[in-house]
Amino acid sequence: MTTDNFETKLEKAVKQVENGLKAHLASDDETPETLLEAMRYASLDGGKRLRPFLVNETASLFKAEQQLVTEAAIAIECIHCYSLIHDDLPSMDNDELRRGRPTLWKHSDEATAILAGDSLQTLAFEILSNAPTPTNSYIKSQLINGLAKAVGKTGMVGGQIRDMAAEKSSEVNFADILMIHSQKTGALISFAAEAGAIIGGADHHAREAIKLFGQKLGLAFQLKDDLLDVEGTTNDLGKTAGKDQASGKATLVSILGHEKAVTFLSNLKDGALYALEPFGEKAETLREATRFVCERQN
Amino acid sequence: MTTDNFETKLEKAVKQVENGLKAHLASDDETPETLLEAMRYASLDGGKRLRPFLVNETASLFKAEQQLVTEAAIAIECIHCYSLIHDDLPSMDNDELRRGRPTLWKHSDEATAILAGDSLQTLAFEILSNAPTPTNSYIKSQLINGLAKAVGKTGMVGGQIRDMAAEKSSEVNFADILMIHSQKTGALISFAAEAGAIIGGADHHAREAIKLFGQKLGLAFQLKDDLLDVEGTTNDLGKTAGKDQASGKATLVSILGHEKAVTFLSNLKDGALYALEPFGEKAETLREATRFVCERQN
C-alpha cells in the first residue's frame, strides 16, 4: 500500500503545483505575454515536483493550514524553476536540453530566459506574501525569511558560485563538494521539508528532526543525480548524460569512486529514515519518498 | 535652507545605505567571497540612493518605526542594484560602463554578474523578513508583497521585457512608452515612496496621495534620464551618452520632440508637487527632491 500511497501523493503535488502555477501565470493586462509564455514554458508540464511534495508531507505531520501549505509548495517550485533556467544559461552550464526539451534560452533567447528566471524568483516571494493579515503574517514572514536564506548568497546561489569555482580548480576535495551540494541543491530541498514544519507550528525538537531529514535527503538527491549521470543514458534522463565525466568535473562519485558513493548514498538514506523515527506511522509516505529519491532511475 | 536640507538628507540616505549594505555583505563562513565581492562592487560606493531617500522622507510624514524604515530603504536599493547588473548584461543592454566604472559582467564575468544580481534580489526579501515577530510581521508582509509586485512580472521585469520588444519594433507609440516607463523604472520609485507610508501606517487617502506622488516622480525621473541622454556627455553621466539616439531607440523625447518633452516634464513635476499638498510643510524636502529629479544635470 505504501508505494501506491507515495505515488498518489506525488501525483497530487504535481496537480497542485500545475494548477497553482497556471493560475499565477494566467494572462492579465499588466504582464507582457512574452514573459508569461517564457515563465510557463519553464515551469509547467515538467519536473517531479519533489519539493512541493515534501512541503505537503511534512505539513501533514502537524496541524497546518492547507492554503499556506499550497502557497509554500508553489513558491518553492517557482524558485526551483528559476534556478534551472539560470543554471542552463550559456555563461553557466550552457545546457541545451532540459526535461527532454530545449532549455528556455535555446527556446526563446538569453535575455528572456534571464528575465523569466528573475520574475519566477520574485513570484515566489509575492505568493508567500499575498493577502497578508495580522493573523497569518508571522508564519508568512518566517517562510519568506527561511526561503531567502536557503536560496540566496548563503544557500543555492552561494553553492552555484562554489560549483563554478570548483570546475576551474584541480584541488577539489570531499569537504568542498559536500559544501557545494549542501548549498546548491540541499538548502532548498531541506527548506521544503522545513516549510511544512514551520506552517504546522512544530516545536523545536520536531523542527530540528525535519531539518536533519531534509539535509540528508537533499544530499542523497544530489548524490543519486551524480550516480545517474555516470550510469544513465540521455534518453532516460531527458538531459545530457555523462556530462560531468566528459567535462572532468569533480563529483562525489569521482572523488569517492563508484562503490563508496553507493555506500554513502545508502548511509544518507538510513540517516534520513532515522530522522523520521519520532513521527511514527504518520511519516510512512516520507519514508517511501526517501527510498524513491535514492533508488530512482532518472 | 530647503536645498541644504535636501542635500543633507540625501547624504544621510547615502551613508545609511552604504553602512547597511556593508553590514549585510560582510564576509562570513557561509558565503563565497567571490560572490560577496561581486555584490559589493555593484552596490557600494555609487548611486544617488534616491529610492532610500524617498523611503526615509515619506516615512517622516507619518509615525514610522525607524528600523523598518532603514530595512526597507536598504532592501529597495538591493533590488535597484540587481536590476542594473542584469540590465547591463551582454544579452540585454550590453553596457560596459556604469557610474564611471566597468559594469559587473565586464569587471568579473557574465555568470558571476547574473548570480550577484540574483542574490541581491534575494537579499532584499531576506532583509525585509529578518527577525520576524508577531508584532512586526504584518507590516513586513505588506512591504514584501508591495515590493514583489513592483519588481516582478507586473512591474520592473515586465517593463524590461516591453522595452526589449519596443527596441525591435518600428511601431512604438506614446502609450507604449508610458507603460514601459511606469513598469521599468516607475514602479520601484513609486513603491519606495509608498513604503514609507506603509511603515507609517498611513490612512487610505494619504497612501493614495503618496502613490500618486511616486508615480509622477518616477516618470519624471525617466523622462529626465532620456532628456539627459540627448543633452548630456558621457563624462557628465558616468555612462555612455547618446546611446538611445545612436540605437534609434524610441523614447518619450524622440516621440514627443524635445520641446514637448520638456513641457511634459514640467507638468509631471507640477503633478508630483500637487500630490504633496495635503502634507504641508512637512513635505518640503520631498518638494526639493522633486525639483532635483527634474533639474539634475546627471
Query: Which domains occur in chain B, in start order?
Result: 2-295 (1.10.600.10)
Question: ipTM value of the model?
Answer: 0.94
Contact B137 A140 (CB under 8 A): yes
- pLDDT score at B243: 66
Q: How far is B66 from chain A (nearest CA, A)?
A: 19
Which residue out of A21, A112, A126, A179 would a mutagenesis test of the B interface target, given it has the greatest number of B Cβ atoms within 10 Å? A126
DSSP string computed for A209-264: HHHHHHHHHHHHHHHHHHHHHHH--HHHHTS-TTHHHHHT---HHHHH-HHHHHHH
Q: How far is A9 from chain B (nearest CA, A)?
A: 30
Contact A141 B140 (CB under 8 A): yes
pLDDT at A28 over 60: yes
Which tens digit of pLDDT belongs to each residue from B95-142?
Answer: 999 989 999 999 999 999 999 999 999 999 999 999 999 999 999 999
Which tens digit of pLDDT belongs to each residue from A183-235?
Answer: 999 999 999 999 999 999 999 999 999 999 999 999 999 999 999 988 875 55
Contact B31 A158 (CB under 8 A): yes
Which tens digit of pLDDT belongs to each residue from B146-182?
Answer: 999 999 999 999 999 999 999 888 889 999 999 999 9
Contact B122 A39 (CB under 8 A): no
- pLDDT score at B1: 43
The pTM assigned to this predicted structure is: 0.94
Contact B122 A151 (CB under 8 A): yes
Cell of B212: 500618486
Of A92, A114, A132, the CB nearest to B145: A132
